[in-house]
Structure 1
Amino acid sequence: MMQEISIPSGVLKLLKKQKYQIVGRHSAVKKCRWLQNSLVQNRHCYKQEWYNIKSHRCLQMTPTVIHCTNRCLSCWRVEPGDHGYHWDQLAIRNFEVDSPEEIIAGCIDAQKKILSGFKPSGHSKVSWEKWEEAMEPKHAAISLAGEPTLYPRLSELIEEFHRRGITTFLVSNGNLPEVLEEITEPTQLYISVYGSNKDVYRKVCRPLLNDAWERLMKTLELLHSFKCPTVMRLTLTNGLNFSDPAGYAKLVERANPTYVECKSYVSVGSSLLRGLSPDNMIWARDIKKFAEKVAEHCGYGVIGHSVPSRVTLLSRLKKPIKLA
């Protein structure tokens, strides 16, 4: 018999304090800083420049807010052990989950609640036209926190977003290749990679699955089978995994993704409880130099660079595909 899911009361209180909008029993929405920057300052995320993902119309959500197969040192989210809280991160597999329709409706309502604070009648720097567009999300970033492939109805979730005319950008740690192998394709698929070899990966990710590295390797080998654009995201942390560009290049050759994003760790959230600090962030110029070394080893080229987000884009393409 399936159980009722619940977020531990202390964790729920903490998430709300951190401005997560909890949706149903296991999903959440959170305001991205680029949503605010787009509305107030007309500044946008690198995803808008590269992929045409409008920052003010992007819904940052997750169907698995406290459930993941890893406990990454560099992750911003609260994990078991942080603040003295403990729970089973894999337990969602035994729960009765919310439907895709419930999740999406709840997430859009949560986004509108967030946007109510930027209504032009009370916020002189926001235009009515842009605010009204923002109230109708066109892009769903299925990321935010947790591992979305643990949600057993993920294909249906993607399909429902698409039925509503909303593009999907799925971010996964690649630990469940059996899910990705059968999934309805998102508009763009991201696989996060935290180490150039097994030892570094296990140190940074602290995986719950004993064969997590082997599972990730299988996922990388699956990428060539996707028709949608694929992204191998190297999340790099100074002092942990910011080394061995040749090793990362070998993984790129194994996966042959459409793009590689080399991106710095950001010193925020619960990662600060695990011994990380601003010193572990990497300057944009150093990220670019590292990305260029990766590119030299695998035949990719630099086609984008964002200083504010400390990220460099590699591809065999001359320029990114505008998706929306």
Structure 2
Amino acid sequence: MLTEERIKYLEKQGYRIVGNHSAIKTCHYCKAAIKGKDVCYKNTFYNIASWRCIQATVTLDLCNLRCRWCWRDINYGTTNGSMFTDKPQDIVEGFIKEHKNVLMGFYGSGKILKDRLDETMKPKHVALSLTGDACLYPKLPELIEEIHKKEMTSFVVTNGTITHMVKKLINQQPTQLYITLPAPDKETYLKMCNPIGGNYGWENIIESLYLLENFKRTAVRLTLVKNMNMFNPESYAKILEDKGFKFLELKSAMPIGDAIYRMDYSEMPSHEEIKKFAEKICQINNWKLVDEKPESKVVLIMKENTDERFLKEEILET
């Protein structure tokens, strides 16, 4: 599935390959947190320990959409989930092994918090958000079960087009399910996300958004780009007004990875622009902007601000 040339390229980008179609990549905030410098927005918003988080994928390089702002190489894509055959247990064990291998070298550095690095060797969270769409993996419910067996929490990020898998997850729920709403209307979606198979996916996204009411913890993500999908807040508000999500994140897309070939730095919204756009949606639907992380250009909206957004200690502790 992955050529040797492609594997070498991905490894140079910091990916650690797991099996035939999975990978991890230790993110900037994990390393920064070990050094006591910074934490990611998931810590700020939800109490996830950044230094104990594995950023991962079970569908390396492959997605059924080709969004203009995506950091992956959109020349690779598929709608066929049958090619993803590795066993969930093997994948999860591979995630943990590679996570430890990457970060073990920090013990030789004097610029770390030793207690955090010790905790890093016992990861507590898996974010299936690295690249591709996790819902293409046919055994995603079993994978989530394996993650939870290891006493780790799980965030699953999906574009919402693979509705049959979203339905399956109702019976094996991740700790938090994310669905991306990529556009304010179908025409913009088709133009900016360029789905494999042509006129496909918008209705599935809307159906998946309706399914969110069946999950315990859910988030909708708006990844915004000027001149692409950052307009008509009224339409976003209308789409979301009757959907059963708990959290709504608005985040600036960034020209990183292969996205540098498809978006310009001038199209990256500033944090203040993201915040103003979010405030318009809040005003329309009478929601509340409850938190923000300016360094990441991201804000959090809730219908009502409660402390339920912070994952409880009994879930997070070993």
The interval holding the TM-score normalised by the smaller chain is: over 0.9
* Counterpart contact for 2:63–2:77, Cα < 8 Å: no
Measured after TM superposition, the shift of residue 10 of structure 1 is 3.1
Residues 1:27 and 2:13 are matched in the alignment? no
Q: Distance in 1 between matches of 2:292 and 2:281?
A: 15
Q: Distance in 2 between matches of 1:313 and 1:56?
A: 21
Measured after TM superposition, the shift of residue 102 of structure 1 is 0.5
- Secondary structure of 1:168's counterpart equals strand
Letter in 1 for 2:283: E
Measured after TM superposition, the shift of residue 41 of structure 1 is 3.5
* Counterpart contact for 1:66–1:89, Cα < 8 Å: no
Q: Distance in 1 between matches of 2:267 and 2:244?
A: 29
Q: Distance in 2 between matches of 1:96 and 1:55?
A: 28
2:249 to 250, 258, 261: 261
2:40 to 38, 41, 45: 45
1:304 to 281, 291, 307: 291
Q: Distance in 2 between matches of 1:319 and 1:204?
A: 35
Q: Distance in 1 between matches of 2:38 and 2:61?
A: 30
Q: Distance in 2 between matches of 1:124 and 1:315?
A: 41
Residues 1:151 and 2:137 are matched in the alignment? yes
* Counterpart contact for 1:223–1:256, Cα < 8 Å: yes
Q: Distance in 2 between matches of 1:88 and 1:54?
A: 32
Q: Distance in 1 between matches of 2:246 and 2:7?
A: 38
* Counterpart contact for 1:303–1:319, Cα < 8 Å: no
Residues 1:174 and 2:163 are matched in the alignment? no
Query: Residue 131 of structure 1 aligns with which residue?
Result: 117
- Secondary structure of 2:110's counterpart equals coil
| Percentage of pairs with the same residue | 36
Cα RMSD of the aligned pairs, angstroms, is: 1.3
Query: Residue 196 of structure 1 aligns with which residue?
Result: 184
Query: Residue 214 of structure 2 aligns with which residue?
Result: 225
2:92 to 104, 112, 120: 104
Measured after TM superposition, the shift of residue 285 of structure 1 is 0.9
Q: Distance in 1 between matches of 2:265 and 2:161?
A: 28
Q: Distance in 2 between matches of 1:72 and 1:88?
A: 11
Measured after TM superposition, the shift of residue 36 of structure 1 is 1.0
Q: Distance in 2 between matches of 1:302 and 1:96?
A: 39
Q: Distance in 2 between matches of 1:304 and 1:262?
A: 11
1:295 to 256, 277, 282: 282
Query: Residue 61 of structure 1 aligns with which residue?
Result: 56
- Secondary structure of 2:180's counterpart equals strand
Query: Residue 174 of structure 2 aligns with which residue?
Result: 186
* Counterpart contact for 2:64–2:77, Cα < 8 Å: no
* Counterpart contact for 2:61–2:77, Cα < 8 Å: no
* Counterpart contact for 1:302–1:314, Cα < 8 Å: yes
Query: TM-score of the superposition, structure 1-length normalised?
Result: 0.92
Q: Note the alpha carbon deviations across 1:171-216, whole angstroms, 9 max, x for none.
A: 0000111111121110001101110100111122111143200110
Residues 1:163 and 2:152 are matched in the alignment? no
* Counterpart contact for 1:76–1:269, Cα < 8 Å: yes
Residues 1:89 and 2:78 are matched in the alignment? yes
Letter in 2 for 1:105: E
Unaligned 5+ segments in structure 2 are none
